[in-house]
Amino acid sequence: NAGVTQTPKFRVLKTGQSMTLLCAQDMNHEYMYWYRQDPGMGLRLIHYSVGEGTTAKGEVPDGYNVSRLKKQNFLLGLESAAPSQTSVYFCASRDPNQPQHFGDGTRLSIL
């Protein structure tokens, strides 16, 4: 999965705390995505971006915000973490009509 780097790899938060997950890609891809993965649910799209400065809502956007100020970075924010946001978060990037490349995930636990 060289090319898409997620930071941090693990994090434990208390309910109500805030944090930002960082995704960085070095492939100059136009599109970037944030997914969450829960048991038995596959991957669900939270937010995505089709270019620098643009963002759009996915399937499960509530409780999350994103920003794409630089083409290579896509940030996912949790303003007030809730136990329901305990999950594994994956970032992906791609160019139009090309496959997605995924990072190795961020494992987030909300207590």
* Tally of helices (H runs) and strands (E runs) in the chain: 0, 11
- Residue 63 CA to residue 83 CA, distance in Å, equals 11
Q: How many CB atoms lie within 10 A of CB 40?
A: 4
Q: Please name the amino acid found at residue 88.
A: V
Closest CA to 35 of 82, 93, 81: 93
Biggest alpha carbon–alpha carbon distance for the chain = 40
The minimum distance between CB 54 and other proteins, in angstroms, equals 11
The reply to whether 10 sits near other proteins by the rule CB under 8 A is: no
Interaction between residue 90 and other proteins (CB under 8 A): yes
Q: Binding residue for other proteins (CB under 8 A) from 12, 27, 41, 82?
A: 41
Among 66, 92, 108, 110, interactor with other proteins by CB under 8 A? 92
Does 28 contact other proteins by CB under 8 A? no
The one among 11, 52, 58, 61 contacting other proteins by CB under 8 A: 58
List of residues contacting other proteins (CB under 8 A): 1, 4, 31, 33, 35, 40-45, 48, 50, 56, 58-59, 90, 92, 96-97, 99-100, 102-105
